[in-house]
Amino acid sequence: MLAAMRFEASVFAPLQREDAGRWRVEVTGIGPESARRESEVLIRKYRPRFVVGVGLCGALDSTLTRRTVVIPATLYRGGGDESLATSELPESVVSEIQARVEAQPRLLARSPHSAPINSGGAMVSVETVAASPAEKQALATRYGANSVDQESYAWCEVAQSYGVPAAIVRVVLDEARDLLPQWRNPRGWPQAALLPYRALTARRVLQAIGRGLSCVRW
């Protein structure tokens, strides 16, 4: 299991503590370059049977609301035309994740039109954070993606180059309309005040995902 930050990885640590023979939880660092470099080191060292990339992401589509679980089928490399298909998670795994999230109503996305899990869409991995609604709209238009992150494409590209299937499970932190904090821009200050709370609630969804993964053999 790969995550960019310890904030994301730490919620999955119980998986490794309880079943070290099946799970390794590792941090690669933020951004595609670090993700590519560190994931290659880890995959060569541990020779996993399957890689799951986890963490937070941004929404590019207005139908994806905060705390939605995103399991993309296609990944794009931002700035280029390269794409790859992720490996499918077993249906039993997806069902267990959904059950765990739905068991905690406060974790569900707030919109009545938003499902707790969005699977089968496309995610684009970019070099730098897509901070403004305009940047997000440009990515959605170019790639037809509904979500954005920085590391997923690199993780899966490296894993597949070693013949290892790889999937991505992320949780929406910021919506398509959100302006992420930029201290030089006062318009972003209200978002800065809300970000810690939103990150903690998204982290609770990651915890529910971890509990779901711990219950399924695959």
Query: pLDDT tens across 125-175, in order?
Result: 999 999 999 999 999 999 999 999 999 999 999 999 999 999 999 999 999
Instruction: Give the CATH number for residue 207.
Output: 3.40.50.1580
Backbone angles phi, psi at 71, to 5 degrees: -125, 90
Residue-wise pLDDT tens digits, 41-53: 999 999 999 999 9
Closest to 32 measured CA to CA, from 76, 71, 95: 76
Closest to 96 measured CA to CA, from 177, 7, 191, 216: 216
Residue 105 domain boundaries: 2-214
Burial class (CB in 10 A: 0-12, 13-18, 19+), 42: buried
Contact 172, 147 (CB under 8 A): yes
Q: How many domains does the chain have?
A: 1
Q: The whole model's pTM is what?
A: 0.90
